[in-house]
Amino acid sequence: MNKILEVNDLHVSFSTYGGEVKAVRGVSFDLYQGETLAIVGESGCGKSVTANSIIQLIPKPAGKISNGQILFKDQDITHYTERQMRNIRGVDISMIFQDPMTALNPTLTIGDQLTEGVRQHENLSLKDAKEKAIEMLNLVGIPNPEERLQQYPHQFSGGMRQRIVIAIALICEPDLLIADEPTTALDVTIQAQILELFEKIQEKTNVAIILITHDFGVVAKIADRIAVMYAGKIIESGLKKEIFYNPKHPYTKGLLHSIPRLDQKNEKLIPIDGTPPDLFSPPVGCPFTARCPHAMVACEKVYPLRHEESQSHYVDCWLYDERVKHITKINIKPKEEYK
């Protein structure tokens, strides 16, 4: 399998009036052709910033990649100029945004918005571009594509619009599709349809997908691998079954506990107490310390060494350190003290 993307130790920060927000603090992952990586985590943990920095769509000059490396098909694109990026965006890497109601320009026809990218990048004639657009609309399941091309976004439902957004993203046949919460704004039945569409498209085009979500239901459906983010770091990552059946990090466990389950009707949902740390001055140790039921002194002082549970599964947590076994009993701090 071909490696499409490799992100090494990515740091992204924003300078604001209040100081520097360290939104992403050393994120690394890789992604292969035809694979779907889900990035999950609570709101504000840096999922969107990570995704946006891959195609350099973070607001400049406030936001910047302060460290790290992004390799796309073995090419270092971290410091590509705007002009160089333009030849990658939409062609090699495409992006889908959360809210299909706002992602389409209300004053331009669907046809125009579908074809403008492919016309610019591939120099297609209007007629060829239109044919391609019709083909794409067929692929994403929009009936009567020919007529529909003439119409404006407000003439489509939310689910239809997201299909159109997906068609726009795929029209230049990218190798990587970044979908930032593509189903969050849709109702459940439409959500399922859109996820099925992703699967179908991936089967057909072998595109690699980064799927950002905080919905484990979505993850369960289409992810191959999962990266769990917290306070700008990936704190656990593994294959889908490893994360679902053998979660290691207390945070991951907490997230999984907070999903409603159909088979356990009476069980209460357990949200994780507390809030994520302030990213202006993130803690030096494990950022989850303050909310962790198993926190130890070491957690607060030093960021955990990586524990490799398997070849594909790692976790950044002191609980799995060899040495902890001997000190657990003495040093565990009750959670209350951190509140």
Partner 1 sequence: MFKYIIKRFFMAILTIWIIATLTFILMMSIPGSPFNDVSDKTSNEAVQENLEAHFNLDQPPVIQYVYYLKSIATFDFGPSIKKPNDTVNELLGRGFPISFELGILSIIVALISGIALGVLAALKHNKIIDYMAMTIAVLGISIPNFVLATLLIQQLAVNLNILPVATWKSPAHMVLPTIALATGPMAIIARLTRSSMLEVLTQDYIKMARAKGLSPYKVIIKHALKNALMPVVTILGTLLAGVLTGTFVIEKIFAIPGMGQYFVQSINERDYPVIMGTTVFYSAFLILMLFLVDITYGILDPRIKIHDEKGD
Ligand X SMILES: Nc1ncnc2c1ncn2[C@@H]1O[C@H](COP(=O)(O)OP(=O)(O)OP(=O)(O)O)[C@@H](O)[C@H]1O
Binding-site ranges for partner 1 (CB under 8 A): 55, 57, 82, 85-91, 94-95, 97-99, 102-109, 116-117, 120-121, 152, 154, 165, 168-169
- Do 276 and 287 meet the contact criterion of CB atoms below 8 Å apart? yes
Rounded to an integer, what distance in angstroms lies between the CA atom of residue 262 and that of residue 251?
22
- Do 272 and 254 meet the contact criterion of CB atoms below 8 Å apart? yes
Q: Smallest distance from the beta carbon of 176 to partner 1, in angstroms?
A: 12
Q: Smallest distance from the beta carbon of 39 to ligand X, in angstroms?
A: 8
How is residue 89 annotated by DSSP? B
- Owner of token pair 């509140």: 339
DSSP characters over 38-58: EEE-STTSSHHHHHHHHTT-S
Residue 44 interacts with which of ligand X, Mg ion, partner 1, none, CB < 5 to 8 Å by class: ligand X
Residue 214 interacts with which of ligand X, Mg ion, partner 1, none, CB < 5 to 8 Å by class: ligand X
Please pick, from the candidates 65, 279, 298, 315, the single residue that binds ligand X as defined by CB under 6 A. 279
Task: Write the interaction track for ligand X spanning residues 43-82; mark x where CB under 6 A is met and - where it is not.
Answer: xxxxxxx---------x--xx-------------------
Complex with partner 1: residue 207 or 315, whichever CB lies closer: 207
Rounded to an integer, what distance in angstroms lies between the CA atom of residue 138 and that of residue 126?
18
Please pick, from the candidates 36, 48, 53, 213, the single residue that binds Mg ion as defined by CB under 5 A. 48
Complex with ligand X: residue 48 or 115, whichever CB lies closer: 48
Rounded to an integer, what distance in angstroms lies between the CA atom of residue 218 and that of residue 216?
5
User: Pairing mode, if any, of strands 36-40 and 225-230?
Assistant: parallel
Q: Total residues contacting Mg ion (rule CB under 5 A)?
A: 1
- Do 47 and 212 meet the contact criterion of CB atoms below 8 Å apart? yes
Residue 57 interacts with which of Mg ion, ligand X, partner 1, none, CB < 5 to 8 Å by class: partner 1
Tokens of 167: 């068609």
Residues ≥6 apart with Cβ < 8 Å to 233:
25, 26, 27, 287, 316
Task: Write the interaction track for ligand X spanning residues 192-221; mark x where CB under 6 A is met and - where it is not.
Answer: ----------------------x-------
Q: Smallest distance from the beta carbon of 23 to Mg ion, in angstroms?
A: 11
User: Pairing mode, if any, of strands 314-316 and 233-239?
Assistant: antiparallel
Please pick, from the candidates 4, 23, 134, 227, the single residue that binds ligand X as defined by CB under 6 A. 23
Residue 305 interacts with which of Mg ion, partner 1, ligand X, none, CB < 5 to 8 Å by class: none
Q: How long is the chain? A: 339
Range 290-319, binding ligand X (CB under 6 A): none
Count of other CB atoms within 10 angstroms of residue 273: 13
Residues ≥6 apart with Cβ < 8 Å to 44:
276, 279
Residue 45 interacts with which of Mg ion, ligand X, partner 1, none, CB < 5 to 8 Å by class: ligand X
**333 three-class SS:** coil
Q: Smallest distance from the beta carbon of 16 to ligand X, in angstroms?
A: 5
Q: Which residues bind Mg ion (CB under 5 A)?
A: 48
Q: Which residues bind ligand X (CB under 6 A)?
A: 14, 16, 21, 23, 41, 43-49, 59, 62-63, 214, 279
